[in-house]
A and B are shown apart, each in its own frame.
Chain A
């Protein structure tokens, strides 16, 4: 076994079986390892101890309001694309305690809870989700205020990314320029090539882990083949742009024209399309829950019966809830049309004003998990007219 540090940016080849060694090595370094696993008919992120738990041989078929796992002869370990979970579930958990108050002798002691110091390694992170992570970093770390719990988790994160070999019909990362190849922000990046993996080293932490693993320097042929897989997928996705939805046959192959999209949406706040989409929208908030960048949260107090012990808990909220914009004078966004407009214009337009980037990474989750199949790409196209 070679015991030498590999340089950042270099490419190595490993057998698929070495993934098991990688998982074990990360666990040996104290990481909690999380990766893709099948649960309730979907691929989610869950604790991963063994390579046998990976969804080898599965692909996901996705469309508006549809998600199905299928066995596929040719499928490798990571040929599904994205399920309902993203890194958000771990870095910005659905519910967490922000503050604990204890009342004693007439005074109240308020302390933030201890932050779990266990570092987290996530295996199988997609390019779109890595961009989503960078976007959430801007929200929680990039402004005048820093969220301490997010910061602690973020600093303890190890990312094993995966370059996509296939795209679902709902994927449009090529339009948002976020994939299908990873562009940084990872510790290790895998590409599955003919039953083995090409690994790109993205960080010193990534290089450290490779010390434990049996690897060879990737031959130029392997690196080129890995790149060719990404390039071919990108080409296939770009071909979609040439066929408007009205002329496509079969399952709609998504893309989005993002030309001047900020002004397009801000200039169309009174467009009749908002009312039309509201006729179908159930305001269920699924899109915001599966979105890897949505960050709205509500904070509530959970008290024991004496009132002496109170936890302040933050839980994911959604701009589709009436309470989201509630003030004592009433709810600001009284209609579903106004809430859908808030979600879409924030995601694609005013996010640019706030954070200098789109809030959408083209993962397509909001399309797949919408119970009525509302399609963000179709809505933008309709407003563009």
Chain B
């Protein structure tokens, strides 16, 4: 929950920046990645984000939706969001074509602890890293993966544990080989196998059973359904990984990004500005309380 924006943005905080959709990549059923380019070159030149942050994407007449940034933070020419059709805003975005405009407010929120680089928390440099994701939960960690692979020598062993409901719901599979070549172990599992699936079957936390970790020097980052994260945290704590070294990205009804609207509160936190990335010691008191 380290604040990344110490200074208020220079422009009006409720005004979205206009961006053009420059690429649409269909990923899995109901999910596509949208590449955006700001219309205003000054906005494009000034825009920076760190892995874990999100934007509020706006379609006038429909509203805003909080969407994680899923592209490489070192690429200044590309700003991507991997979006699943879930509500009326994302449904409307799904009807957009290359060349259409979309409003962007952001970036908002806290960072994965991937490095001592500008604006990022640096708690895991030199550490082994386990990234455990479910379904669309891989999207907010993809910028962290890019960052780690861009600075591979800064980290120890790096493992991705990734699962989805079926093999057809696995995101970014075409990139897995490149990630492996870059020095990351990639373990994939599905909840429901089929005749074509030759890999693991089972839920993501079970993949921990095969790992031989060095708990004192391991950092875990997890994003996915809350029930999955609950068990990832359980498995990590069971292996004596410190609560302060387990990071999770929470999802709530983030509607303004600035802590004004009150919708995304979890205990004392505004998930939009104190999170979405927390270490487990910060949220432990509140994480397992039903309906909080």
Contacts and interface: CB of A to CB of B under 8 A. Distances in A.
Nearest to B65: A328
B14 A327 contact: no
A103 interface: yes
Interface in A284-318: 295-301, 303, 307, 310, 312, 314, 317
A245 interface: no
Contact of B253 (A332, A341, A353): A332
DSSP majority for the B interface?
A: loop
A350 B267 contact: yes
A321 B280 CA distance: 29
B58 to A, nearest CB: 8
Contacts of B5: 144-145
Contact of A147 (B13, B263, B289): B13
- The number of chain A residues touching the other chain, given as a range, is 35 or more
Nearest to A148: B12
Central interface residue in B13, B18, B265, B285, by most chain A CB within 10 Å: B265
Central interface residue in B39, B263, B267, by most chain A CB within 10 Å: B263
Contacts of B103: 108, 110
Nearest to A103: B60
Given A144-B5, A333-B291, A353 B262 contact: no
A72 interface: no
DSSP majority for the A interface?
A: mixed
Contact of A350 (B64, B101, B253, B268): B268
B265 A342 contact: yes
A324 B253 contact: yes
Contact of B263 (A112, A144, A298): A298
B141 interface: no
- The number of chain B residues touching the other chain, given as a range, is 35 or more
A246 to B, nearest CB: 30
Given A270-B289, A296-B262, A310 B267 contact: no
Nearest to B267: A350
A266 interface: yes
A110 B56 CA distance: 15
B251 interface: yes
Contacts of B61: 301, 303, 307, 310
B60 A108 contact: yes
Contact of A112 (B14, B251, B262): B14
A319 interface: yes
Contacts of B253: 324-327, 332
A103 B273 CA distance: 31
A379 to B, nearest CB: 18
Contact of B86 (A99, A310, A328, A332): A328
A144 B3 contact: yes
A108 B263 contact: no
B255 to A, nearest CB: 6
A85 interface: no
A242 interface: no
B172 interface: no
Contacts of A143: 258-259, 273
Given A145-B13, A301-B62, A338 B268 contact: no
B18 A139 contact: no
Contacts of A324: 253, 262-263
Contacts of A145: 5, 8-9, 13, 258-260, 273
Given A103-B60, A337-B291, 9 more contacts: A101-B60, A146-B8, A269-B286, A299-B64, A300-B63, A317-B261, A329-B251, A338-B290, A350-B267
Interface of B: 3, 5-9, 12-16, 18, 39, 60-64, 86-87, 101, 103, 225, 251-253, 255-256, 258-263, 265, 267-268, 270, 273, 285-286, 289-292
6 contacts: A99-B16, A108-B101, A110-B16, A144-B5, A301-B61, A338-B290
Interface of A: 98-99, 101, 103, 106-108, 110-112, 139-140, 143-148, 266, 269-270, 295-301, 303, 307, 310, 312, 314, 317, 319, 324-329, 332-335, 337-338, 341-342, 346, 350, 353-354
